[in-house]
Structure 1
Amino acid sequence: MWQHQPDFYLYWKDAAKDSQCDVADQYKSGHNSEDSWKDVENTTIERFQATRIKTNEFKLLLLVLLPVVVYILGQILFDIIGVSFADYAMQLLSSSANIDFAESSIAAAQLWGSASLIYLVVSIGLIGYVFRFLGKNVKGKALYPFWGIASFLIVIGVSHLLWVDESRRPLSMIFYLTFESLKASSLMQSNSLDSIDKLLDVINVLSVVIPSLFCAFMPSVLITPRGGWTDDMLVSRIKSGRKFCACSSVFLVVGILHMFAWMRLSFLVLGRPELSQLASGIVFYWAFVFSTMIATLYACIMLTLDGHRESLEASRRSSSATGPHLLSELGIAFDGKALVKQVVIVFAPVISALAVTTTEVLLESGI
């Protein structure tokens, strides 16, 4: 009846034999086989066992609010200083009937298409990364608070996005200036404009979803691991937190490039390339907002982990050999390499804005 065993049966049978051989080798080398089996069992259970968030660690979830507050302040200030931009954009659109597009606008449209492709690819990759990041730090029921916070931020963010669109806030004119310019020109056909409209809807939603995931999942790297805090675990979390901030910085850099390419297209379609300075000013504003958000994320992670480092030193569990390394990784002790990493991660959006605007000036001057 059982002439052919299933593949998974043979796999587990071979695995059991390998485990028995390992235990036998340990027994020969002087280790107790029963203790070895217990170690293997405990390791397996610990790997899949749920993480518990300590009562005093729930307050760490409030750190989510800090980068969100920075973004809200950025929105409020842009509503104030962006009114003149919105009024000027409306004047440009009112005098832009039946525009004859120039050859330069074709190249600008292709550049925006490339920026959109990069934005979509990076966004999809980062969605997978942030969920993997969360699953690496917490497991089981401890995931629920982070999922709940992410869902709440996404709902609020999408609702705000719809309100900005319907009420024609200054932020929405970044979209409408270029889109209405394309409608008034013969550069795009109606079916192409419909596709662009849908593509921008996807990009706008991703611009809410991904920052919400980064903000919501950030505190997971600060939750006490099941094995407690050790030097090795602390170094691992520091590197993981820095990588997390670097990935968020990459997304915001791509967002800056896409914003500049989209706004530049409108000025070339309108035949007003000199107005690229207006796009540069708006891009620089949001670049500084994004850099401030990253700085907030980075500070939350490193300052909290530094508190765990001090606790380790107080309990004399931290060795003197790893102490200086931890200080340099946290950015507390001076280390040129670590300092450069921190500056690049935090100011990457500003650096990218400076790069694209400088390139635009050089191209206009014919250099």
Structure 2
Amino acid sequence: MEIIELPGYTPEEKLRIAMRHLIPRVLEQHGLSSEFLQIPEAMVKLVIQRYTREAGVRNLERNLAALAREAAVRIAGQEHTVPLSKDMHQLTSPLVENRLAGGAEVEMEVIPMGESNHEISTTFRVASPLIVDEAMLEKVLGPPRFDDREAAERVASPGISVGLVWTAFGGEVQFVEAIAMAGKGELHLTGQLGDVIKESAQIALTWVRARAIDLKLAVVEEINLLEGRDIHIHFPAGAVPKDGPSAGVTLVTALVSLFSQKRVRADTAMTGEMTLRGLVLPVGGIKDKILAAHRYGIKRVILPERNMKDLVEVPAAVLGSLEILLAKRMEDVLEQAFEGSCPWRRHSKL
């Protein structure tokens, strides 16, 4: 069996899909038309940005359906409704009219209309269509679930970096958190991690300790960064299993940030495997990872230099909104990842 991998949609593609296919289908499913409900492109963009963060459009369609249901309820609750039919049947019997005029009760039997008869349908006339705005979005969908400021808030302190990972559902943004505490020099890892990513964390810590002087984390080689303290590294979303080597550069960046007490740039995400000598190796899923960064509001992406060939698969509109930085060694990553001055010494010969 051949497995076909489908990349995620860009926000622009989601918008076109929604306007051409999802909205007409949702309106039809709820018995509506553009005469009753209109969802402007600007509002669809807000739904994509604030209420969905996915590779496909399933949740987008669900949110649009919620707006359609709200519109249907409002229209059904309007008092000014006019029944219409193609052929109105009137009671013309004089006997019935006389009894009605005299105030007598009349029992009437309703006979179902057959296929040979004209079907009587009831429609509604509305003065103007309901146009979705931001107020309606918040009333129906609730407060925004995602915010472009989320990355800035989560990388507000040293010891945190932003990585890019690939899953069966497409690319995702993965934060890495590191913290130091009093202990015996042990490394603790949490977040449902596999063996490969655990080894990547050990390699990252070993490399940082070996380069402590060049990173200005120690004055002399005899200083042990783990003396009297433990390091705890956590990958949030603990219920989701994680594995693979592509978090190597993200782990090193988080550790350097922790030991140097310098913050990593919140607008920068990265991916790449790292060797014990500090080489940055290529990884897979580049297109999906870049799409995830774009979807998340990331502005700068650090990639292995040998992944440059994979950029041809990324839509030009997405590449135009991102700054792609290529790294051959771990030093290149550190130069681009930190706010202000990087602790790395440029004159190092490593």
Quickly name the TM-score band, shorter chain normalised.
under 0.3
Task: Name the structure with the higher helix share.
Answer: 1
TM-score (norm 1): 0.22
TM-score, structure 2 as length reference:
0.22
Which structure carries more strand by proportion?
A: 2
Compare relative contact order (CA 8 Å, sep 6+) and give the higher one, 1 or 2.
1
Query: Which of the pair has more CA radius of gyration?
Result: 2
